[in-house]
Chain A
Amino acid sequence: MGLRFLVDSMHGYVAKWLRIMGYDTLYLNSVNDEDIVQLALGDRVLVTSDEELAKIAEKRGVEVFLTKGLTEEEVLRLLVERFKLFFQEDSLRCTVCNGELEPLPPEEAEKNPEAPKNVDLLWRCKSCGKLYWRGSHWRNISRQILKLTGSEPSHA
């Protein structure tokens, strides 16, 4: 199984980008410390700015990335560095719900009123149905990925 993350509610931006890069990322919303530790135990890296929580979690054997004093951009860059993250073109995830994206066949795209015309590749979240495509924002994503990982995504 690949690297998985658990990101506290202060880091929505980080969670979003980890998902864009294809990493299974749970985003915490009003969850108590004990539950956070339990959720992370074993197979998730906890990303948090809460020193107290970090201490408790580490003592229990959770791998923690403490973000105190860092900007969201810095957190993301350091995560990429430390865990050698890369853009996983074949396992994209929904930024809203962490669901897996699946390519949408052209014939279905045609039937879907929400799908934009004239885009070559469309994805759909298996969990919430949200559509993704390479629109104008793709250039920003592409640039950000290049900045973070040093290599540009080829197509996906």
Chain B
Amino acid sequence: MSKDREKGLRYMKGRPRKRVQSYSSPSSVLYYATSPPLSVTKTTPLSRLLETMVARGFRRVFVATASGLLEGIVTPMEIVKHLLWKSRESPGTPVMDIMSTPVARLMRKDVVSIGPSESMSESIILMKKNSVNSLAVVDKSNRLKAVLTVRDVLERFNYSLESGFVKDYMSKSPVCISIDRSLREGVETMVSSGHRRLPCLEKSKPVGLFSSRSIVRFLGGREFFKHAGETLGELMSLSVVDFTVRDPPVLDPQVRMTEAWEMVKRSSYGSALVVKSGSLEGFLTEMDFLKAVRIGP
């Protein structure tokens, strides 16, 4: 315990996949949620947060007090925004300086949460209504118990998908980014459009995915040390190409949603480019699959 506290992190050893099933019914949120969820405290520095997110593959980390009360959430989007704001405010700041930023300055406080005994259909409605891909499961005194993600819903909950096609659920004119833009322009586009992932094109051909997550992976990875001597301004003028993943799933618009999910499920991206004869027709994310989930018997 003391060792964990030193690291500023509180989680079980290994991937926190233990399920609290003893007293939860198969229709309640807690049955499908992951418990205990990963959390950090407000004083955890960005460097530690990055390690956790990158090495362990977390898309979100909750912020809680030492006694487990929920205070906020950090996703790659918050980290990326901070990078952009900082680079504006003082472009001459050495990139290493931001690594000591405490979580308190990154987190957002408006966490969408749900009670442990609420129903799964309630959780789906909440996610859709707030356009969030996860819910904090909290007890009556706002103590963080578990996390329920859109993936948990899609992978584990016994649901059925509507029989529609990809073309009916995808976003048709998605906001995109060209591979030759700067990181700064890419992030601006991400933040203003409210999309943390943008299809990335090169000479009008879809080539990959530019996402807040790929930027975070860069910041927490080995590649970053090559840029350790640079300033924030220099970092932000790198090209989008350096932050683009080249192998996202690609779907045909005529594929059925059920089939599409089988493909997207196997990838770690949770979204797919919809492409027809070489050109981008649309973009499909986990949230679009959630729209296709049939609620009820």
Q: Which residues of A contact B (CB under 8 A)?
A: 6, 26-31, 35, 38-39, 41-42, 96-100, 113-114, 124-130
Contact = CB atoms under 8 A, between A and B. Distances in A.
Task: State the main secondary structure of chain B at its contact with A.
Answer: mixed
B265 interface: no
A26 B85 CA distance: 16
Nearest to A27: B192
B88 A124 contact: no
Given A125-B204, A126-B201, A128-B199, 20 more contacts: A26-B189, A26-B193, A27-B193, A29-B194, A31-B192, A35-B81, A38-B85, A39-B191, A39-B192, A42-B88, A96-B175, A97-B174, A99-B178, A126-B204, A127-B176, A127-B178, A127-B201, A128-B174, A128-B175, A128-B201
A38 B88 contact: yes
A145 to B, nearest CB: 23
Contacts of A39: 188, 191-192
A75 B203 CA distance: 34
> Lowest 4 CB-CB distances: which A-B pairs, in order?
A129-B204, A26-B192, A128-B176, A127-B178
Contacts of A31: 191-192, 194
B204 A124 contact: yes
B177 interface: yes
18 contacts: A6-B192, A26-B192, A27-B193, A28-B192, A28-B194, A29-B194, A29-B195, A97-B173, A97-B174, A126-B178, A126-B203, A126-B204, A127-B178, A127-B201, A128-B201, A128-B280, A129-B205, A129-B206
A3 B128 CA distance: 37
Contacts of A38: 81, 84-85, 88
